[in-house]
Amino acid sequence: MIDHLTIKVKDFEHETAFYEAALAPLGYAKGDEFPGAAQFASTDGSSVWVVQTDGDVTPMHVAFNGDENAIAAFHAAALSAGGTDNGAPGPRPNYGPTYYAAFVHDPEGNNIEACRH
């Protein structure tokens, strides 16, 4: 199990608002916050940190678990919060016979996925 991960961003305020909205349907809530850093904690003990950087940002791919209702709610919330559709909720048989997922790009180009196997 991953304890935490960090997503580096340029526009901290915008990205923090995006992640607060997008991750809420997946069980994440805003936790600790420091200047330029915000934590989103899950009930399973894992967390995601959004951290401001002045350096280069290379887009990354992150996938979160959820059931079909949470995946649909994640997708809708992420789009409403400024994300870009990168794959509507639905089966992904090319990833596995029971794989179901939705994908969005956050405002800075990170590929964020919600899935279940």
For residue 23 the two structure tokens come to 């991750």
Query: Is the CB of residue 51 less than 8 Å from the CB of residue 9?
Result: yes
Please tell me the predicted confidence (pLDDT) of residue 1.
67
pLDDT-flagged residues of the chain (< 70):
1
Domain of residue 42 covers 4-116
111 has which bridge partners?
A: 61, 105
Closest by CA to 43, choosing from 53, 57, 29, is: 29
Whole-angstrom CA distances from 7 to 10, 37, 90, 112 are 10, 10, 26, 11
Stated pTM of the model = 0.94
**CATH at 52:** 3.10.180.10
The confidence score (pLDDT) of residue 2 equals 80
Please count the structural domains in the chain: 1
